[in-house]
Amino acid sequence: MTYAASDVSNFYYGAVTPVVAYLMACLGAALGLRCTTRSLRRPHRRAGWLALGATAIGCGIWTMHFIAMIGFNVQGALVTYDTTKTLLSLVVAIAVVSVGVFLVGYRGGSPATLATAGTVTGLGVAAMHYLGMAAIHTNGTLGYDTPTVILSIVIAIAAATAALWVVVSIHALWASLGASLVMGVAVTGMHYTGMAAVSVHLTGHSATSQSSTDLLSFLLAMLAGPLVVLLVAAVIVMFDPDMMLTEDDWDRAPVAATAPRGTAPRGTVPAQPTHFDEQQARTSQSRTSW
């Protein structure tokens, strides 16, 4: 059987798909960071916030991948996707991010914990990417350049480790938003590095050489669920009363919250009576004696 190499493009719609994909990666990262920050400050609700954060990050990464894949085009071939493998890649994305987030959420940000959680999460993100690629059906076979694949996995591990470090180290709102922009670059960079490793060898010629309306409809339908999840997470985070607290506010809030009603917060010095206060007390006492 003869295989003919085909031209592959990841930018069929120009800059639209990579820009939107990057924004979705940033959105998922930003929501995940804010949720995990709350989990560290609210131990009684830690599991819920960590689960929401992991889901947001996982959905953001998966959404980034398949929005970017809308721009994937193979000359002389019609690309379709296997529904089961596509959905399975979403489950993998959320599951592996959950492992990393829960590790740092409950065990802290020690170097050993970050290395373990970052490696597991990075390998999982890479697995999500290549599982999503395995869902592709076309009239040919996909090949991969091994060194480029390895580079994409290294980028995924580095990006995941950096993201988890940010989770336990950066709590201020604007700092976490800036970190999410950097994480978006890393995650999107990992995707396009992995796509640079792809080559397609066709066994026949398709009558359609561009992405069809059916393919676009399928991917948009697949994206609907994760987009709703991200929207719900955004609403929860935005309406949380601690949204705008600064680092100093966070440090004071737990003390004030745990102080018994009617007592001064622990660590504060009671106000000393002034000369005016003492004079008022003596005057009040003399009146009472009358």
Report pLDDT digits (tens) over 118-167: 899 889 889 999 999 999 888 878 889 999 999 999 999 998 888 888 77
pLDDT of residue 204: 64
The position carrying tokens 């350049």 is 145
Nearest to 72 by CA among 148, 123, 137, 154: 137
Reduced to 3 states (helix: H, G, I; strand: E, B; else coil), residue 290 is coil
Q: What is the DSSP letter of 241?
A: T
pLDDT tens-digit profile of 161-185? 888 887 777 767 777 788 888 888 8
Q: Are 70 and 17 in contact (CB under 8 A)?
A: yes
CB atoms inside a 10 Å sphere around CB 257: 9
Q: What is the pLDDT of residue 237?
A: 85
For 130, counting Cβ atoms within 10 Å of its Cβ (0-12 exposed, 13-18 middle, 19+ buried), the class is middle
Which residue ranges of the chain lie beneath pLDDT 50? 1-4, 209-211, 246-247, 250, 253-279, 281, 283, 286-290
pTM score of the predicted model: 0.77
Helical packing angle, 213-238 and 83-107, nearest 10°:
20
36 token code pair: 């995990």
